[in-house]
Copies of this chain bind each other. A is one copy, B any other.
Amino acid sequence: MAGLSDIARAAGVSVSTVSRVLNRRAGIKEGTRQRVLDVLNEMPHTARGMEALRRTGVIGLLVPELSNPVFPAFAEALETRASRAGYASLLCNTRAVMSEQDYVRMLRARGVEAMIFVSPAIANIDPSAGTRPPRGYYERLLSEGVHLVFVNGGTPALEVPDVAVDEQLAGYTATQHLLELGHSRIGFVCGPSQALPSRLKQAGWSAALEEAGAVADPNLVAHAPFGAEGGGQAMSELMDTARPTAVLCSSDLMALGAMREARRRGVSVPENLSVVGFDDISLASYCAPALTTLAQPIEEMANAAVDELVHRLDPDRPDRAPGGHSRVFRPRLVVRESTAPLGTE
């Protein structure tokens, strides 16, 4: 088993320097530090204490939930790209009993080199809710040398690269599509009002409506928890009050719930109600009627996120160039069977 002295010899420095590197003490030139670390990573079996500094090749993936299939889809896409680059992924489900912060702490202790946050708490929860990580929380991570990337939830306040779909454009495009089909009473089956993505989609919805000379009546927006259940609730509310001829939904899952509610009430889709989802989960094309939706380019986004990370983790890797700090992807309209021209109703 190699000891400090072996490493010192191999790196051409003194034992004390190695010791200092290992203990993260200040006063070591970056070049020397790097040389020691490199030697460390070569050595097959080294003693205690060193393990933590060693490159682990492990990254953490944090998703808010698993019940909406988009998140497993993101996780799988991220994981695939990461393993191709030689990194193993650990997946954490953050909105369960343990919070995002709990998981971050744990991952940090387990030697994770970087973390990718999908829909991170920082960007998506209302500041007033109080459950958001305290200010400076992500900064601390950054300063500890943990690399971060946000997916769908970046914030300009932080020096963290992020990739995201243009949620507002999604709302706009969906509304536009329905407008073109002749609809005018277009409702929005929306997630909780604090959720930023839903707010952005709503902005797109209003914009399209106003551009078409219509008014974005607040009664046409129904808030409910995310999930199919919530979609049903919001749909039910809309049908009782504003009676839209078409709706867009915050997610495919909500759209599925909305469609079931419509079916329960004997309103047939798309003849009497057009429905547009968001995400394009793989099941969207398997339900009947197949769901028209705005696809997130999940694979491209995942690739971009992982590549950005890898670029920072291994700066001298010849790989693809990073696309810059903040990459926005366009959602793609996938027209299937759940939308149709406004009929005689």
**Which stretch of A128-136, A158-166, A252-260, A322-330 is in the interface?**
A252-260
CA distance A286 to B90 in the complex (A): 31
Q: Nearest CB to that of A69 among chain B residues?
A: B69
**Which stretch of A74-82, A139-147, A241-249, A301-309 is in the interface?**
A74-82
Q: Is A88 an interface residue (CB 8 A)?
A: yes
Q: Is A5 an interface residue (CB 8 A)?
A: no
Q: Nearest CB to that of A88 among chain B residues?
A: B106
Q: Is A239 an interface residue (CB 8 A)?
A: no
User: Which of these, B51, B93, B103, B289, contacts A76 with CB under 8 Å?
Assistant: B93
User: Which of these, B73, B89, B90, B287, contacts A288 with CB under 8 Å?
Assistant: B287
A98:B90 contact, CB within 8 angstroms: no
User: Which of these, B51, B89, B93, B257, contacts A75 with CB under 8 Å?
Assistant: B93
B79:A96 contact, CB within 8 angstroms: yes
Residues in B whose Cβ lies below 8 Å from that of A52:
48, 51
1/0 contact trace for A267-297 toward B, CB 8 Å?
0000000000000001101111100000000
Q: Nearest CB to that of A93 among chain B residues?
A: B79
Q: Is A91 an interface residue (CB 8 A)?
A: yes
CA distance A103 to B90 in the complex (A): 9
User: Which of these, B97, B110, B285, contacts A84 with CB under 8 Å?
Assistant: B97
Q: Is A14 an interface residue (CB 8 A)?
A: no
Given A88-B106, A288-B288, does the pair A98, B73 have CB atoms closer than 8 Å?
A: no
CA distance A287 to B69 in the complex (A): 15
A83:B111 contact, CB within 8 angstroms: no
Q: Nearest CB to that of A74 among chain B residues?
A: B66
Residues in B whose Cβ lies below 8 Å from that of A58:
106, 110
User: Which of these, B65, B91, B97, B287, contacts A90 with CB under 8 Å?
Assistant: B91
B287:A286 contact, CB within 8 angstroms: yes
A96:B76 contact, CB within 8 angstroms: yes
A97:B80 contact, CB within 8 angstroms: yes
A88:B67 contact, CB within 8 angstroms: no
- Can you list the 10 inter-chain pairs with the closest CB atoms, starting with the nearest? A48-B49, A83-B97, A66-B72, A91-B91, A110-B110, A256-B286, A287-B287, A288-B288, A90-B90, A66-B76
Enumerate 18 A-B pairs (CB-CB under 8 Å) in ascending A order: A48-B49, A48-B52, A49-B49, A56-B109, A58-B110, A66-B75, A66-B76, A67-B282, A71-B72, A72-B72, A76-B96, A79-B93, A89-B92, A89-B93, A110-B110, A228-B283, A256-B287, A260-B288
Residues on A lying within 8 angstroms of B by beta carbon are: 47-49, 51-52, 56, 58, 65-67, 69, 71-73, 75-76, 79-80, 83-84, 88-93, 96-98, 102-103, 106, 109-111, 228, 256-257, 259-260, 263, 282-283, 285-289
